[in-house]
Structure 1
Amino acid sequence: MLLLKAVVMGVVEGLTEFLPISSTGHLILTASLLDFHGETAKVFDIAIQTGAMFAVVWEYRQRLLGTVRGLGHDPVARRFALNVLVAFIPAVVLGLALGKTIKEHLFKPVPVAIALVVGGLLILWIEKRHRAAYGDADLKGQRLARVETVDQLSGLDALKIGLLQCLALIPGTSRSGATIMGAMLLGVSRKAATEFSFYLGIPTLMGAGAYSVWKQRDALYVSDLPMFAVGTVVAFVSALLCIRWLIRYVSSHDFVPFAWYRIVFGGIVLLTAYTGWVEWAA
């Protein structure tokens, strides 16, 4: 049963990590339904995010290898690497400063549901604003945004996106949602915003996973390895499928359906919690 729960959690992580619907929020809610709790389970939730990030590394391996090889002589590669680093730093600082407090008070189903609804409303507002500015131009392949590709991002753009990523410390907000929708507000094209969110997730989530495992190492046992391995592999496979689908999707669709999904799903959780129809574990 434990390995089966690991498979379910891995699928949830992989399918939700890169969509603007909050993977952490979905993991918290799924864990509540599966009665998957405890310190080991908390570390597991963070650790399997590494599997999703390996999917990004694999999918964009040529770009990443080219960046590493070009650091010594290619200014475009250096700027790209520096932008990812600059965007990564705010989450590290705030995560270390506020992470414990946030986990104690907000890693619960009801706060997650509230964040899902609020985030959905914000996505609707941002998409409405984006449509008013550009119409359907970006969905038709026309280039009108201030920043059309990841390589055109400035250091200030990267810093602003990094600060927006910090909103995802609140479970239910969505790291992808905060970075993608925030970047669009800054004048970044939908595709470039999505791709930079992928790249930024590599140091952010791999770092969080490594730090969590190291910090809780005394609570982990060799017998936990199969569960962690299964969850990570499943997260990798499902995330890889999701990444390839999402890149195709954003070329001709907006994020409005995800906004309504967040609002409806969060509303259902709040309704069932209020009525007592579902006993959402804290």
Structure 2
Amino acid sequence: MNIWELFVAMLLGLVEGLTEFVPVSSTGHLIIVDDMLLKSQELLGSQEIANTFKVVIQLGSILAVVIVFWPRLLQLIGLGEKSEPGTNRLKLTHVITGLIPAIILGFLFEDVIDTYLFSVETVLIGLVAGAFLMIFADKKARKHIEDDSIDDITYKQAFLIGLFQCLALWPGFSRSGSTISGGVLLGLKHRAAADFTFIMAVPIMLGASGLSFIKKLDVFTPDMIPFFAVGFLSAFIFAWLSIRFFLALIGRIKLLPFAIYRIVLAIVLAVIYFNII
């Protein structure tokens, strides 16, 4: 591994970490930075190694969520602080309820998604459609909502948010963008919807990425481990910073700034790829 290769690993980890859990689509950003500028597939000499690297940096981002929400995750599995009698508490069954729709649709249409939906055109559609959903959610958000929290989510809301999460099966739509928008449209505050989104992301992303990781263990040769390690650490650090910053801001700035950014990103991609100007 030379310095340039390690820099590429760090930069791709940075892009993954900063964009995976905010509603701007990490897929769109990785297309710009990797496919157009860094060319990691050409650098690594193999599509399989490049795909494995993307799984590794996604695991780094997932670890950041686990660290941020560690006390809450412990509560979900019965190892954390006990709630007072008669008070609400988010349960593991709420999370499972929210995961059911995406798990079923992802299992049924995995081959179709991998074969037909991973292209610049579909990402552009996802970026713009997701942006309009976010704008619509902000417009319809309850203005005088009580100071509710993630613990006030009902099973019905959890399931319906899970349906919104299915939109993220379309590349470029953004898991956090679709689920936070769904939560807001269902009456949750932006922060409560964001918290539930991040907690739901842990099992579904850990399951998918973990399975892919196990299938690709043969790629982890001694000469490639430094490249993977730098990417993983970079993704973890920048995902942790991004999540903390996003959660501190989402209650004040809502989704509109991210929607505008997505539309600008879609325009940039269209101009670069299709020579519109």
| Change in CA separation of 1:100 and 1:68 when aligned onto 2, cut-off 3 Å | same
- Which residue pairs with 2:122 in the alignment? 111
Aligned to 1:166, what secondary structure does the other structure show? helix
Alpha-carbon shift at residue 220 of structure 1 (Å) = 5.0
Do 2:57 and 2:235's aligned partners in 1 also have CA atoms closer than 8 Å? yes
Aligned to 1:223, what secondary structure does the other structure show? coil
CA RMSD of aligned residues (A): 2.4
1:61 corresponds to which letter in structure 2?
Answer: W
1:164 corresponds to which letter in structure 2?
Answer: F
Question: What is the alpha-carbon distance in structure 2 between the residues aligned to residue 79 and residue 271 of structure 1?
Answer: 45
Q: 1:90 aligns with which of 81, 89, 101?
A: 101
Question: What is the alpha-carbon distance in structure 1 between the residues aligned to residue 209 and residue 222 of structure 2?
Answer: 17
Do 1:110 and 1:273's aligned partners in 2 also have CA atoms closer than 8 Å? no
Q: 2:66 aligns with which of 47, 57, 66?
A: 57
| Change in CA separation of 1:80 and 1:213 when aligned onto 2, cut-off 3 Å | same
Alpha-carbon shift at residue 199 of structure 1 (Å) = 0.5
- Which residue pairs with 1:22 in the alignment? 25
Q: Do structure 1's residue 101 and structure 2's residue 105 form an aligned pair?
A: no
Q: Do structure 1's residue 121 and structure 2's residue 132 form an aligned pair?
A: yes
Give per-residue Cα distances to partners, 1:97-132, cap 9 Å, x unaligned.
2223212222222321221122112222221222xx
| Change in CA separation of 1:166 and 1:221 when aligned onto 2, cut-off 3 Å | farther
TM-score by structure 1 length? Answer: 0.85
Question: What is the alpha-carbon distance in structure 2 between the residues aligned to residue 205 and residue 77 of structure 1?
Answer: 27
Question: What is the alpha-carbon distance in structure 1 between the residues aligned to residue 106 and residue 216 of structure 2?
Answer: 16
- Which residue pairs with 2:34 in the alignment? 31
- Which residue pairs with 1:140 in the alignment? none
| Change in CA separation of 1:264 and 1:118 when aligned onto 2, cut-off 3 Å | same
2:248 corresponds to which letter in structure 1?
Answer: R
Do 1:87 and 1:161's aligned partners in 2 also have CA atoms closer than 8 Å? yes
Within-5 A mapping of 1:1-282: 1-33=4-36, 34-37=38-41, 38-70=47-79, 79-130=90-141, 133-134=142-143, 137=144, 143-144=145-146, 148-275=148-275
| Change in CA separation of 1:215 and 1:163 when aligned onto 2, cut-off 3 Å | farther
Aligned to 2:240, what secondary structure does the other structure show? helix
Aligned to 1:20, what secondary structure does the other structure show? coil
| Change in CA separation of 1:103 and 1:223 when aligned onto 2, cut-off 3 Å | farther
Question: What is the alpha-carbon distance in structure 1 between the residues aligned to residue 89 and residue 183 of structure 2?
Answer: 21
Alpha-carbon shift at residue 225 of structure 1 (Å) = 2.3
Do 1:47 and 1:210's aligned partners in 2 also have CA atoms closer than 8 Å? no
2:211 corresponds to which letter in structure 1?
Answer: Y
Do 1:87 and 1:158's aligned partners in 2 also have CA atoms closer than 8 Å? yes
Structure 2 gaps of 5+ residues are 42-46
| Change in CA separation of 1:101 and 1:223 when aligned onto 2, cut-off 3 Å | farther
